[in-house]
Amino acid sequence: GTANIGVVGLAVMGANLARNLASREGNTVAVYNRSPERTRTLLAEHPEAGFVPAYSVEEFAASLARPRTAIIMVQAGAATDAMIDALVEVFEPGDIIVDGGNAYFPDTIRRERAVRETGINFVGAGISGGEEGALKGPSIMPGGSDEAWQTLGPILRSIAAVAEGEPCVTHIGHDGAGHFVKMVHNGIEYADMQLIAEAYDLIRRGTGMSPAEIAEVFAEWNRGELESYLIEITAEVLRQEDAASGGPLVDVILDQAGAKGTGAWTVQTALSLGVPASGIAEATFARSLSSHPEQRAAAAGLPGPAVAPALADPAAFIEDVRQALYASKIVAYSQGFDVIRAGAAEHGWSIDLGAVSRIWRAGCIIRAQFLNRIAEAYAAEPGLPLLLSAPYFAEALGRGQAAWRRVVAHATGAGIPAPAFASSLAYYDGLRAERLPAALVQGQRDFFGAHSYRRVDRPGSFHTLWSGDRSEVEV
């Protein structure tokens, strides 16, 4: 074989990744798709790429130099399993199969274990950046063995996005670590998007500004500490006019948000790890709520506030929303990194959180200046227990909290749903509280289930004889 890398699955993501690989010095790319039509189209449209086409898995294996390295870009789930099985049949020990789709990380752990039995390396790699990222430089989050990384590292480094001179790829950890981190990336993406959407809604309903006018607000924000790809595209979407109605496009898009699963996986994972990723959860649930038209119709007549609070100073309110957005964003990222920290501990991965923040600075959907602040926080204190407690973030939260409270109060008073803003603030207040009513919950648990409690003034576990003389015993 003459190709040093192969791509299997030539839908948009796979085709773009193959073209990206082919455009880099020293790469010869073998391509294979289950239906040959796609392969022929790609070859016809991109003669410059010098692709080596294959029309069967056998031919594909034969076209690759050893150790064979192939990236699978097919639908997560059954299609991925089928393609892995087919490649395992024709590959040999030492070869490398990479799954570049959005696989659920327990699947990746399972697949890695099964493929390893054959002596073939299996690497689950999260790839972020959408179609354009795949073509011009994505952020890549590979898991898998150190041995596979030896071969794969240089290839992935050559196609990744570059942030301040550093390629946006790092070996995240073994087996499913890469897909785990990609999953959390998407969870943070959900929170970031929901927070921006809430900011837009609050400004629109609070000030009556048009989407095009609010686009200018976001464009302005994009020149400050909120600078990010998601803020940038938000301005573009809000500016867009609809040809059919002549009005803003956003007003004719059905307000039911879709989801392909990664946000829900992040929340499920956080729940089972006992990590309070409440902002990510609210963002995921907000999509669910939007997508139940029958329930929304049934609730449409329920009363809201009798009098809507008037905004004395719209410009000041917009600045408050900006600060609330920044504070809530800090919470979302802090929670996301907390999920990664806990997941790494649970699965025995040694994940460098600073390195994760650095490979998210370019190429991926959540790319932002902000990731530099996170990188700095972990550089200063690699064992940081909670991101938002780092001096820079603690200071920013302290600076923004008054505005944050005004925005949540306004939303509540006006009957505007702002679940991600509100839950992020509640998380912040929960963490900083000196005493929590968790003490009462412990009392209740002890009352009905003798679950026992600990005391603040001495060690040990205690139970109150609630149905007896209510004296306390040590248990």
Residues marked active site are found at: 182, 189
Residues of the binding site for NADP(+): 9-14, 33-35, 74-76, 102
Choose which of 170, 262, 328, 334 interacts with ligand 6PG (CB under 6 A): 262
Contacts of 441 (CB under 8 A, 6+ apart): none
| Binding-site residues from annotation for substrate | 102, 128-130, 185-186, 190, 260, 287, 445, 451
Residue among 259 and 426 whose Cβ is closer to ligand 6PG: 259
Q: Which residues contact 201 (CB under 8 A, 6 or more apart)?
A: 416, 417, 418
**Which residue stretch of 19-27, 48-56, 127-135, 273-281 sits at the interface with ligand 6PG (rule: CB under 6 A)?**
127-135
Judged by beta carbon, residue 260 or residue 455, the one nearer ligand 6PG is: 260
In the complex, minimum distance from the CB of residue 340 to ligand 6PG, in angstroms, rounded to a whole number: 15
Which 358-387 positions form the footprint of ligand 6PG (CB under 6 A)?
364-365
The Cα 299–Cα 123 span in angstroms is 47
Q: Which residue is nearest to ligand 6PG (CB)?
A: 128
Residue with structure tokens 């699963």?
261
| Binding segment toward ligand 6PG, per CB under 6 A, in 84-92, 159-167, 257-265, 313-321 | 257-265
Query: CB 262 → ligand 6PG: shortest distance, Å?
Result: 5
Residues between 51 and 90 that touch ligand 6PG (CB under 6 A) = none
Cα gap 104→331, rounded to integer Å: 24
Tell me whether residue 258 or residue 301 sits nearer to ligand 6PG (CB atom).
258
Angstrom distance (rounded) from CA 447 to CA 264: 34
Does residue 128 belong to the site contacting ligand 6PG (CB under 6 A)? yes
Cβ proximity to ligand 6PG: between 162 and 475 the closer is: 162
Only segment of 35-43, 78-86, 217-225, 258-266 that touches ligand 6PG (CB under 6 A): 258-266
SS3 50: coil
The CB-of-257 to ligand 6PG minimum distance in angstroms stands at 8
Residue 286 CB, shortest distance to ligand 6PG, in Å, is 12
Please give the single-letter amino acid code of residue 191. Answer: A
b/e code 41-53 from CB counts within 10 Å (16+ = b): ebbeebeebebbb
Using CB under 6 A as the binding rule, whether residue 259 contacts ligand 6PG is answered as: yes
DSSP single-letter state for residue 48: G
DSSP string over 114-166 = HHHTTT-EEEEEEEESHHHHHHH--EEEE-S-HHHHHHHHHHHHHHS-EETTE
Based on its alpha-carbon atoms, the radius of gyration of the chain, rounded to whole angstroms, reads 25
The answer to whether the beta carbons of residues 349 and 172 sit under 8 Å apart is yes
Cβ neighbours of 65 (radius 10 Å):
14
Q: Site map for ligand 6PG, 89-108, x if CB under 6 A?
A: -------------x------
Work out whether 186 is an interface residue with ligand 6PG (CB under 6 A): yes
Q: Is 169 in the site for ligand 6PG (CB under 6 A)?
A: no
In whole angstroms, give the CA distance from residue 81 to residue 114.
11
* Residues from 130 through 159 that contact ligand 6PG (CB under 6 A): 130
For tokens 């509640």, name the residue. 426
CA–CA distances in Å: residue 231 to residues 184, 218, 224, 270: 19, 6, 11, 26
CB 114 within 8 A of CB 168: no
Distance of CA 380 to CAs 338, 349, 369, Å? Answer: 17, 21, 18
Under rule CB under 6 A, residue 172 binds ligand 6PG:
no
CB-nearer residue toward ligand 6PG: 67 or 263: 263
> Tokens 């946000």 sit at which residue?
263
189 part of the interface to ligand 6PG, by CB under 6 A = yes
Residue 217 beta carbon to ligand 6PG: minimum distance, rounded to whole angstroms: 24
Contact at 8 Å (CB) between 143 and 122?
Answer: no
| Site residues, ligand 6PG (CB under 6 A) | 102, 128-130, 186, 189, 258-260, 262-263, 364-365
